[in-house]
Amino acid sequence: MATKSILVIHGPNLNLLGIREPAHYGHITLDKINTQLSRIADTADITLETYQSNAEADIVAKIQNLASNTVDFMIINPAAFTHTSVSIRDAISAVNIPFVEVHLSNVFARESFRHHSFFSDIAVGVISGLGADGYDAALRFAINRLNNAL
Ligand code: DQA
């Protein structure tokens, strides 16, 4: 059986994790999050790619370029684009790859403009407020799902 593949997409400003608003996002850096995810994926013999961009068009292009038979599952923190981006939502619908939406902070405990997501209703599930552990949980879920797929 071919090795399963998971893509993690981090949206805008997540490259600043570690220095950015630690009260909301903690002190962990994006590099540390990605390293931890890679460890989990390696142990499970899953191919993992991580990708970060501050540009909506680049994220749309990245998703458009995925052949659905090369990436089996996605984990996405669209960051600010969560609340604004119909184009990223449409790109995901076009490639039809299942995904979990992750937020470090509990968006529902914050400003009301963060309460709406353009992604949640098409996501397999949503994790919000667990900090970096949310990514780990999403990855473990994705691995279980892929390993149990028919
Ligand atoms: C975020 C929440 C968003 O509202 C915000 O714009 C972000 C990060 C989170 O991970 O908590 O940039 O997605």
Distance CA 83, CA 47 (A): 29
pLDDT at 6: 98
Hey, which of 77, 110, 111 would you mutate to test ligand 1's pocket, going by the most ligand atoms within 8 Å of its Cβ?
77
Mutate to test the pocket of ligand 1, among 33, 107, 127 (most ligand atoms within 8 A of CB): 107
Q: pLDDT per residue over 83-137, tens digit each?
A: 999 999 999 999 999 999 999 999 999 999 999 999 999 999 999 999 999 999 9
Which of the four pLDDT bands, split at 50, 70 and 90, describes residue 149? confident
Residue 150 has pLDDT above 60, yes or no: no
3-13: pLDDT as tens digits: 999 999 999 99
CA 51 to chain CA centroid, Å, is 9
Where in the chain does DSSP place strands (E)? 5-10, 47-52, 73-77, 99-103, 125-128
Task: Please write the tens of the pLDDT for every residue from 23-58.
Answer: 999 999 999 999 999 999 999 999 999 999 999 999
What is the pTM assigned to this prediction? 0.96
Return d(Cα 34, Cα 29) in angstroms, integer: 9
Alpha-carbon gap, residue 134 to 101, rounded angstroms: 10
